[in-house]
C-alpha cells in the first residue's frame, strides 16, 4: 500500500464542494487485470462554494485519457487525485482509466471474489474506480454500462437495456459515490416479488454462486418482512422497480446498502438449517433489515460528511433493533443488545480508542465504523425517543423524511427536526453526540417513614443543590423515598472535561412483598447531582433502576446480594430481572477471584428457580444462565483497583459453572428433555429459544457425564445448531478430536461451515492450548489470509479466548501480531479492525503489558504500514 503521509481531517474544516455533479455515465470494460472505466460527468459550479478548485479523488488508477468539453487535457496527478484548469461554468469531464480488480486484495473499489467482479465503495472506495469528487455531499443520478462475457451484470437502479456481452442500468435517484455498486459473474438468482403499499410491483432477487441457491429462501423472507415493516412502522416505501442482493465470499464487513444493489458478505445472507445456527438466522434477518432500511436512512437521506456517519448508522441500527424486537422477543433482544454494548462499546469508550458518537477528527474513516458510532449511536436515538415519547418520535421522523429527502444532512439537521416537532431544547442532549466516554451514575437512597417524618433530612438530600423533583404521591400520607443520582464521566483520550448529560432513568418501585407499587416512571436527569422524591409510600420500597437499560451508563449502587436476589425473583421489568441475576453472578465471581470466596449460594438458588420457571421464555432463561465474559470481569477488576489475572478469571468461571451443574444435577435430564424441539427445523424465536436453553443445559450436563450426551447429540443432530452445540461441548470436555475430524469431512466444501470449524476449536480450546491450536490451523491448507471471514474465524477466535490470548508467555500476542503484519500488506481495513483486540493492554500486569506493547510496536515498525493500521496502533499505544 503506497499511502501518502497520514493527514488528520477535522469536522471543523468542512467546506462545501466547489463543483456539483449533474449526472454520471460510466462504462466498464471488465478484464481481470486490465479493466477500463470510461466516465462522462457533467459538472456545474456549486452556488454555495467558497473556492473554485477542481479536484477529483483518485487512487491506484492509471489515467489513459481525459477531456473537458471534448478537448484533451493534462491534469496534475498526485497519489490522492488530480486537479485541472476548468471553465467557469458547467462542463463535461471525460476520462478513461485502467484498474486491476484481480490484484485488489484490500476488497475496496472493484475487486474479484470467487470469479465474480464486485465493488465496495463506502467510505472512500469509489476513488479506486475512477476520478471523482468522492465525498457524500456530491450526489448525482448514475447511468452504467457493463461490458463482459459474464452472464449476469448488475448495477444500481433499474435495468434499461441489455444485449450480447453488455448491460445498461440507470439509477434515477441522485446518490453519493459511496453507494455505487457493480457486480458481474456467473450467478444464479432466487427470485420473488413484493407489492408496495401504493401497489407497485418490485422484482426481488438474491444472486449467488450456483451451489448456494438452496440457501436463499430465508434471506428472501427476511427482505419481504423488512419491506412491509418499514411501510407499516415508518411509512417508508421502496422506490425502484427492482431490489437486488448479491452474496460475496470475500467481504470486509457484514453487508453494504448500495442503492438497489445490496452486497452481502455471504455469511450475512446465506442460510440453511443444515449449515446455519439459530444465531446465524437471527443475525441474517437483522442485517437484511438493516441494509434495506438504509434505503431511506442513509440513501434517500445521506450524510453531509463522514463525521455524520452516526446519522445513518445509529438510526439504522436503532430501526433494525426495533424490527427484531417486533419479529422476535423484545426483552430478549434488549438484553442481547446490552450484553453486546457492554462487551464491545464500553471497552472502546473507556480505553484509548474512545471517541464521540460523532467524532471530530480522523486519519482513516474506515477506522470509525465502530461500536460507538453504530451501537451507542442507536442508544442515543432510543433515549431521544424515550424522552419525547412515541408519538412525538413518529412526528419528528415524518418531518425528517419530508424535510431532508434528497439531502446530505448533519446531526444538527436531525436534532433540529426533533426541536421543531416537539418544542424541546436539545442543546444539552446534543452532548451525547459530542462527548465521549461512558457516564457513571451513582445512586443513593433515603427513606423517611410516616412516623419519623419530622426528623431532619439526611446529608445526601441536604447536599443536593436543587430542590428535589417530586415524582409521585403528593399529599397522600405515608413515607417518603428519595433517590439521589450523581453523574460523572471520567476523562477520555483527547477529552478531559465532561459536562452533565441528559439521562432518561426509568425507575419502578417494588414493595417488600414483591408487588410493584410504583410502575415504571421516567426520571429526567439533567444536572450533575439530582434527587427525585416519591411520597405516600406505606413501606420502604425496593427500587428497580434503569429499567430496560434506559441510558447507556454504568450504574454504581451499593446493593446487597439479598436485594439482587429479591429483584431477580420479583422485578416486573425483564431487563432488570436479568440484570439482577447478572450482577449477582458478577459480584460473586469477583469475590471468588479477589478473595477466593466460595460461589454465591443466592445466585445458585436464583438460577435453579429461574431455570425451572416455565412461565419464563426459554430464550430469556438461557440468557439468565450465561455468565459475564472474562473480558468484562477483567474490566470490573481493573476498575476496582485489582490487576486482572486472566487465568484466575477463567478458573473462577469454570468453578462457578461446575457448581451450577452440580446444583442443577437432578433437574437437568428432565429440563433438557422438555426443551427438545420436535418436528421440522424452524429458525423462529420460539424453537430457537428452546434450543438455546437446551444448549446451556447440555453444557452443564457435559460437566457431569464427561460428554456422553453431547456425543449422542452430535451423532443424531439434524441441524447445525444442535450439531455445533454438541461439538463445542465435546471440545470443552477434551473429547472433540473425532467429532472435529468428522465435521471437517462432512463440511469441507462449505466455506461458511468450515469457518465455524476453525473458530470453534480455537474459541473453545483450553486456554493453555489456544495459541497452539490457532497456530496449527494457520498451517492448514484451508487457512486463507485473503478471506476476511477465515482470518476472523482464526485470529478473532483467538482474541475471544481471553485467557488463551493473554497466555503469560505472550505466544497469543506474538502469533496475532505476526499475522496482522502479514495481512496489512494485503488488507489494511481488516488488519486495522483486528488491532482493537489490544485496546485494553494497559489494564493487565506489567509482564503482559510489556509483551503487548512490544508486539504493538512491532506492528507499528513494519515498513509501508497502511494508514489504517498506523492510526489504530498509534491510538492504542497512546
Q: Which residues are catalytic?
A: 291
d(CA 797, CA 564): 33
Q: CB of 131 within 8 A of CB of 84?
A: no
The least distance separating ligand PHE from the CB of residue 292, rounded to whole angstroms, comes to 10
Binding partner at 732 among ligand PHE, Zn ion, none, C-beta below 5 to 8 Å by kind:
none
Binding partner at 187 among Zn ion, ligand PHE, none, C-beta below 5 to 8 Å by kind:
none
d(CA 714, CA 717): 5
User: Which CB, 318 or 743, lies closer to ligand PHE?
Assistant: 318
User: Which CB, 324 or 635, lies closer to ligand PHE?
Assistant: 324
User: What contacts 429, CB < 8 A, 6 or more positions away?
Assistant: 383, 384, 387, 415, 501, 502
User: Which CB, 319 or 848, lies closer to Zn ion?
Assistant: 319
The least distance separating ligand PHE from the CB of residue 306, rounded to whole angstroms, comes to 11
The least distance separating ligand PHE from the CB of residue 874, rounded to whole angstroms, comes to 21
The least distance separating ligand PHE from the CB of residue 294, rounded to whole angstroms, comes to 6
* DSSP assignment string, 210-221: GGGGGG-HHHHH
**Residues of the shown chain interacting with ligand PHE in the complex, contacts defined by CB under 6 A:** 120, 122, 253, 255-257, 290-291, 313, 369
Q: How many C-alpha atoms does 842 have within 13 Å on its Cβ side?
A: 11
User: Which CB, 120 or 372, lies closer to ligand PHE?
Assistant: 120
Binding partner at 369 among Zn ion, ligand PHE, none, C-beta below 5 to 8 Å by kind:
ligand PHE
User: Which CB, 257 or 571, lies closer to Zn ion?
Assistant: 257
Binding partner at 400 among Zn ion, ligand PHE, none, C-beta below 5 to 8 Å by kind:
none
Binding partner at 645 among Zn ion, ligand PHE, none, C-beta below 5 to 8 Å by kind:
none
SS3 annotation, 342-383:
HHHHHHHHCCCCCCCCCCCEECCHHHHCCHHHHHHHHHHHHH
User: Which CB, 408 or 523, lies closer to ligand PHE?
Assistant: 408
Cell for 291? 441494509
Cell for 727? 461439538
Q: CB of 795 within 8 A of CB of 775?
A: no
Is there a cis peptide before residue 123, judged by omega within 30 degrees of 0? yes
The least distance separating ligand PHE from the CB of residue 790, rounded to whole angstroms, comes to 18
Cell for 441? 451514575
Q: To 5 degrees, how large is the angle CA 503–CA 335–CA 564?
A: 80
* DSSP assignment string, 156-201: SSEEEEEETTEEEEEEEEEE-GGG--EEEES-EEEEEEEE-TTS-E
Residue whose CB is nearest to ligand PHE in the complex, by number: 253
Q: 3-state class of 310 per DSSP?
A: helix
Binding partner at 122 among Zn ion, ligand PHE, none, C-beta below 5 to 8 Å by kind:
ligand PHE
Q: Which residues of 397-419 are buried (b: 16+ CB within 10 A; e: fewer)?
A: beebbeebeebbbbbebbbbbbe
User: Which CB, 105 or 651, lies closer to ligand PHE?
Assistant: 105
Q: To 5 degrees, how large is the angle CA 488–CA 492–CA 493?
A: 170
SS3 annotation, 525-546:
ECCCEEEEEEEEECCCCEEEEC
Strands of 381-528, DSSP E: 408-409, 440-448, 469-472, 479-488, 503-510, 516-525
Closest C-alpha to 806, from 660, 675, 694, 643? 643
Binding partner at 66 among ligand PHE, Zn ion, none, C-beta below 5 to 8 Å by kind:
none
User: Which CB, 290 or 334, lies closer to ligand PHE?
Assistant: 290
d(CA 238, CA 235): 10
Residue 26 φ/ψ, nearest 5 degrees = -125, 140
The least distance separating ligand PHE from the CB of residue 611, rounded to whole angstroms, comes to 37
Binding partner at 255 among ligand PHE, Zn ion, none, C-beta below 5 to 8 Å by kind:
ligand PHE
Burial of 540 (0-12, 13-18, 19+ CB in 10 A): middle
Q: To 5 degrees, how large is the angle CA 823–CA 828–CA 829?
A: 120
d(CA 174, CA 59): 24
The least distance separating Zn ion from the CB of residue 505, rounded to whole angstroms, comes to 29
The least distance separating ligand PHE from the CB of residue 102, rounded to whole angstroms, comes to 21
Q: CB of 440 within 8 A of CB of 488?
A: yes
The least distance separating ligand PHE from the CB of residue 313, rounded to whole angstroms, comes to 5
Q: Other C-beta atoms within 10 Å of 311: how many?
A: 28
Q: Position of cell 453523574?
A: 487
The least distance separating ligand PHE from the CB of residue 373, rounded to whole angstroms, comes to 10
User: Which CB, 134 or 313, lies closer to Zn ion?
Assistant: 313
User: Which CB, 316 or 484, lies closer to Zn ion?
Assistant: 316
User: Which CB, 439 or 788, lies closer to ligand PHE?
Assistant: 788
The least distance separating Zn ion from the CB of residue 243, rounded to whole angstroms, comes to 16
Q: CB of 505 within 8 A of CB of 522?
A: yes
User: Which CB, 254 or 490, lies closer to ligand PHE?
Assistant: 254
Q: 3-state class of 707 per DSSP?
A: coil
The least distance separating ligand PHE from the CB of residue 535, rounded to whole angstroms, comes to 48
**Residues of the shown chain interacting with Zn ion in the complex, contacts defined by CB under 5 A:** 313, 316
Q: CB of 603 within 8 A of CB of 584?
A: yes
Q: 3-state class of 600 per DSSP?
A: coil
Q: 3-state class of 77 per DSSP?
A: strand
Amino acid at each position: 500500500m503506497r499511502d501518502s503521509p497520514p493527514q488528520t481531517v477535522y469536522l471543523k474544516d468542512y467546506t462545501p464542494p466547489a463543483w456539483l455533479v449533474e449526472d454520471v455515465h460510466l462504462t466498464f470494460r471488465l478484464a481481470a487485470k486490465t479493466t477500463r472505466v470510461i466516465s462522462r460527468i457533467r459538472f456545474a459550479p456549486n452556488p454555495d462554494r467558497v473556492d473554485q478548485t477542481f479536484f477529483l479523488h483518485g487512487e491506484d488508477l492509471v489515467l489513459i485519457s481525459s477531456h473537458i468539453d471534448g478537448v484533451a487535457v493534462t491534469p496534475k496527478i498526485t497519489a490522492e487525485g488530480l486537479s485541472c484548469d476548468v471553465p467557469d461554468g458547467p462542463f463535461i469531464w471525460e476520462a478513461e482509466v485502467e484498474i486491476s480488480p484481480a490484484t485488489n486484495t484490500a476488497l475496496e473499489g472493484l475487486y474479484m471474489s470467487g470469479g465474480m467482479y464486485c465493488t465496495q465503495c463506502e467510505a472512500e472506495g469509489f476513488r479506486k474506480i475512477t476520478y471523482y469528487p468522492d465525498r457524500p455531499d456530491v450526489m448525482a443520478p448514475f447511468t452504467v454500462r457493463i461490458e463482459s462475457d459474464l452472464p449476469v451484470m448488475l448495477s444500481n437502479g433499474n435495468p434499461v437495456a441489455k444485449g450480447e456481452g453488455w448491460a445498461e442500468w440507470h439509477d434515477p435517484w441522485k446518490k453519493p459515490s459511496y453507494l455505487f455498486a457493480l457486480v458481474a459473474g456467473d450467478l444464479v438468482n432466487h427470485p420473488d416479488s413484493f407489492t408496495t403499499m401504493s401497489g407497485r410491483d418490485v422484482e426481488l432477487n438474491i444472486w449467488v454462486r450456483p451451489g448456494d441457491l438452496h440457501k436463499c429462501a430465508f434471506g428472501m423472507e427476511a427482505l419481504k418482512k423488512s419491506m412491509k415493516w418499514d411501510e407499516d412502522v415508518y411509512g417508508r416505501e421502496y422506490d425502484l422497480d427492482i431490489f437486488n442482493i448479491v452474496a460475496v465470499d470475500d467481504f470486509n464487513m457484514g453487508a453494504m446498502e448500495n442503492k438497489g444493489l445490496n452486497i452481502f458478505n455471504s455469511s450475512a445472507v446465506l442460510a440453511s438449517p443444515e449449515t446455519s445456527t439459530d444465531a446465524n438466522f437471527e443475525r441474517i434477518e437483522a442485517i437484511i433489515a438493516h441494509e434495506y432500511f438504509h434505503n431511506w436512512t442513509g440513501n434517500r437521506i445521506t450524510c453531509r460528511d463522514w463525521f455524520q456517519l452516526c446519522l445513518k448508522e445509529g438510526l439504522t441500527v436503532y430501526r433494525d433493533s426495533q424490527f427484531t424486537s417486533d419479529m422476535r422477543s423484545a426483552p430478549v433482544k434488549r438484553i442481547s443488545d446490552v450484553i453486546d454494548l457492554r462487551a464491545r462499546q464500553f471497552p472502546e469508550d473507556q480505553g484509548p480508542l474512545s471517541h464521540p458518537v460523532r467524532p471530530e477528527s480522523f486519519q482513516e474513516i474506515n477506522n470509525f465504523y465502530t461500536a460507538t458510532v453504530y451501537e451507542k449511536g442507536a442508544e442515543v436515538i432510543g433515549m431521544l425517543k424515550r424522552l419525547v415519547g412515541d408519538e412525538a418520535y413518529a412526528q419528528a421522523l415524518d418531518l425528517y423524511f419530508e424535510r431532508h429527502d434528497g439531502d446530505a444532512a448533519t446531526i444538527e439537521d436531525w436534532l433540529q427536526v426533533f426541536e421543531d416537532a416537539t418544542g424541546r431544547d436539545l442543546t444539552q442532549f446534543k452532548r451525547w453526540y459530542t462527548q465521549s466516554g461512558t457516564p457513571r451514575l451513582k445512586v443513593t437512597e433515603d427513606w423517611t417513614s410516616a412516623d419519623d417524618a419530622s426528623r431532619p433530612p439526611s446529608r445526601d438530600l441536604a447536599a443536593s443543590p436543587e430542590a428535589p423533583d417530586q415524582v409521585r404521591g403528593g399529599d397522600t400520607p405515608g413515607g417518603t423515598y428519595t433517590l439521589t443520582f450523581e453523574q460523572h464521566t471520567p476523562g477520555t483520550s483527547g477529552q478531559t472535561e465532561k459536562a452533565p448529560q441528559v439521562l432518561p432513568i426509568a425507575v419502578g418501585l417494588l414493595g417488600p412483598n414483591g408487588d410493584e407499587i410504583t410502575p415504571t416512571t421516567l426520571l429526567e436527569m439533567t444536572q450533575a447531582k439530582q434527587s427525585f422524591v416519591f411520597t405516600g409510600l406505606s413501606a420502604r420500597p425496593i427500587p428497580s433502576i434503569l429499567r430496560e437499560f434506559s441510558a447507556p451508563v454504568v450504574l454504581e449502587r451499593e446493593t446487597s446480594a439479598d436485594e439482587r436476589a429479591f429483584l431477580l425473583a420479583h422485578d416486573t421489568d425483564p431487563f432488570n430481572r436479568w440484570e439482577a441475576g447478572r450482577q449477582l453472578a458478577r459480584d460473586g465471581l469477583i469475590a471468588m477471584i479477589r478473595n477466593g470466596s466460595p460461589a454465591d449460594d443466592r445466585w445458585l438458588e436464583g438460577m435453579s428457580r429461574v431455570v425451572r420457571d416455565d412461565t419464563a421464555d426459554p430464550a430469556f432463561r438461557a440468557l439468565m444462565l450465561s455468565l459475564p465474559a472474562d473480558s468484562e470481569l477483567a474490566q470490573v477488576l481493573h476498575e476496582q483497583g485489582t490487576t486482572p489475572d486472566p487465568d484466575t478469571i477463567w478458573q473462577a468461571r469454570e468453578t462457578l459453572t461446575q457448581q451450577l451443574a452440580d446444583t442443577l444435577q437432578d433437574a437437568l435430564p428432565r429440563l433438557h428433555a422438555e426443551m427438545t424441539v420436535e418436528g421440522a427445523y424452524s429458525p423462529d424465536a420460539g424453537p430457537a429459544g428452546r434450543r438455546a436453553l437446551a444448549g446451556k443445559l447440555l453444557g452443564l450436563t457435559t460437566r457431569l457425564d464427561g460428554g456422553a450426551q453431547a456425543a449422542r447429540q452430535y451423532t443424531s443432530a439434524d441441524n447445525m445448531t444442535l450439531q455445533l452445540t454438541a461439538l463445542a461441548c465435546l471440545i470443552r470436555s477434551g473429547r472433540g478430536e473425532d467429532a472435529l475430524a468428522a465435521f471437517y469431512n462432512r463440511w469441507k466444501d462449505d466455506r461458511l461451515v468450515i469457518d465455524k470449524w476453525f473458530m470453534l476449536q480455537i474459541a473453545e480450546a483450553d486456554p493453555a492450548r489456544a495459541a497452539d491450536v490457532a497456530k496449527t490451523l494457520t498451517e492448514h491448507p484451508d487457512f486463507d489470509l485473503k478471506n476476511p471471514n477465515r482470518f476472523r474465524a482464526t485470529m478473532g477466535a483467538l482474541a475471544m479466548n481471553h485467557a488463551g490470548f493473554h497466555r503469560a508467555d505472550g505466544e497469543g500476542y506474538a502469533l496475532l501480531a505476526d499475522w496482522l503484519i502479514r495481512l496489512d500488506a494485503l488488507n489494511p481495513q481488516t488488519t486495522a479492525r483486528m488491532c482493537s483486540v489490544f485496546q485494553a493492554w494497559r489494564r493487565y500486569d506489567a509482564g503482559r503489558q510489556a509483551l503487548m506493547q512490544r508486539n504493538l510496536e512491532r506492528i507499528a515498525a513494519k515498513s509501508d504500514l497502511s494508514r489504517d493500521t498506523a492510526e489504530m496502533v498509534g491510538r492504542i499505544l497512546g
